[in-house]
Amino acid sequence: DEEIKEMKKLLIEKKKRKKRYSNINEENIIDRKGSFEKKIEYYDSSKNNDKNNIKNSDKKGDSSKSKKNIRDFLELEKKIFITKTIMYTKNCKLNNIYKYINNKEKIINNLNKTMNKESAQYQESLVKNFKKTEDLLRELEKISLKKKKKKTQVQQLSIEISKLEVKLEKKEEKIKELDKYKNYLNKLASIYKIENKSFHESNKKKEIQNSDEKNGEEEEKDEKAKEETDCSFTKKIEKYIKNPQVLIDNFNLLEEEHLLLIDDTQNAQYELEEYEKELKNKQKHFNIKNDEIDKKIKEINNNINEHNKKIIKYENEIKNNKHQISFDNINNKIDFLCTQFNYDINTDDMMKKLQIMENKIYSYITTLTKYTEVNSQLVYEYQREREQERRKQMRFEINLDKKNDKDNKQSKIANKKNAIANNKEKKEKRENIYTLIEKDLFK
């Protein structure tokens, strides 16, 4: 601000000096015109006096010598008059040159003001673009964190479903084994019933045939039949009824296990159905959110591309302005003017001031080029860091699937700490760079 105030004071002093200089030139021109008119009157009066002297000389008789002297005098007066007219025209030309230089100074001042305004606008636009890119990158980081959380939830659900499927397979195998054992027992029970039925039918036939015989014989036959039945029953089922209590206990246990397995299978089926419903709902929800996130990412990428295009346009405009208003072009134009009007640079104060203005413009252009180069390097470094972070995140996600939940939690905590530290370092670097750029500009 202090430098700007000093520049304004210098410009006001220049304007005052120009006004004084123009007034002095006008007064000099008026004085020269008056002196020239006086000299013409003196010349006319001298001519009249010369004529009178010639007449007197004629009377005396020195006419020939006086005529020669008069002719020489007239020639000298003519030369003096011509030189005065030439000097007057050159003085007018010099005044025109001063006016032209003043106009050029005004044009250069206007150009300097426009350059300052445009540079301020470009700087504001660049700062806004940086802020917008930072906001967009923060939104991308938030979206990526949400995606990671959803991925971990889906992985946990898939692990739980796989565990339930393994349990179901084990229970189905047990049910198959128990069904085989049940079929075996059913077959044994059916064989025993058929043998009992055939034995009772044979006894009934024998009783009907021997009903006419005596009661004593019937009793003996009945006893024999009972003994035979007992013997046959013991022979056939000795294998299965050596330990009857053990068989009964085993059968009861098998029935209980079978019932428990049936209940477990039903509960597992209900749980599976519920998990499948939850999975379908969550998949729909995740698909919807993924579509929204993809749309947001596309919009953000489009915005970033637009901002990059605008930055490229601004850089091209700055380069074009640099070529249009360069030190060489201004210097060449000033040299052309000086050669055209046969004017020395070292003798005039105004030309020295013009050289000072040229040096200031040149320094301003160099600061702009430095600023653009630093800005391009910043953008390149920032994009490279973003790519490295993205690759690290991809590798970390691949390793997450292989490791356990504990390792995942520890790695997440470590990555968060590293991200916070990296963000702090980046902010410090940017602040340092902005301060350096501001110092270069205000120099």
- Asked if the model's pLDDT at residue 105 lies above 80, the reply is yes
* Pair 345, 351: CB distance under 8 Å: yes
What is the pLDDT at residue 62?
56
- Residue 295 identity (one-letter amino acid): K
pLDDT of residue 405: 63
Question: What angle is formed at CA 156 by the lines to CA 287 and CA 394, rounded to 5 degrees?
Answer: 70
* 386: CB partners within 8 A, 6+ apart: 137
CB 338 within 8 A of CB 332: no
User: Is residue 231 packed enough to be buried (19+ CB in 10 Å), middle (13-18) or exposed (0-12)?
Assistant: exposed
The whole model's pTM is what? 0.26
Question: Measured between alpha carbons, how far is 32 from 322 in angstroms, rounded to an integer?
Answer: 46
Q: Where are the alpha helices (DSSP H) in 325-404?
A: 327-340, 349-402
Instruction: Give the start-to-end residue ranges of the domains of the chain.
Output: 243-322
Q: What value does the mean pLDDT take over residues 71-77?
A: 79
pLDDT at 23: 58
From residue 261, give the alpha-carbon distance in Å to each of 29, 42, 434.
126, 146, 73
pLDDT in tens, 147-167: 888 888 878 877 887 788 787
Q: Tokens in use for 50? A: 């010369």
Q: Report residue 442's pLDDT band, with 50, 70 and 90 as the boundaries.
A: very low
Choose between 177 and 276: higher pLDDT. 276
Exposure b/e, 94-121, CB count within 10 A at least 16 = b:
eeebbeebbebbeebeeebeebeeebee
pLDDT on residue 323: 46
Distance in angstroms (rounded) separating the CA atoms of residues 429 and 435: 10
Question: Chain-wide mean pLDDT for the chain?
Answer: 68
pLDDT tens for each residue of 344-399: 555 566 566 667 766 776 776 777 777 677 767 776 777 777 778 777 777 777 76
The pLDDT, as a whole number, for residue 56 is 54
First to last CA, the chain: 12
Task: Specify which of 2-16, 197-211, 234-248 reaches the highest per-range mean pLDDT.
Answer: 2-16
Task: State which H helix or E strand residue 188 sits in.
Answer: helix 63-209
Q: By the 8 A CB rule, do 125 and 310 touch?
A: yes
Tell me the per-residue pLDDT of 263-296, one tens digit each, with 9 for 90 and over. 777 777 777 788 888 888 877 887 887 788 778 7
Q: pLDDT tens-digit profile of 391-437?
A: 777 777 776 666 666 666 676 677 767 767 666 666 665 555 545 55
Over residues 59-84, the mean pLDDT reads 72
78 has a pLDDT exceeding 70: yes
Indicate the range of 161-175, 227-241, 256-270 predicted with least confidence.
Answer: 227-241
Residue 308 has pLDDT above 80, yes or no: no
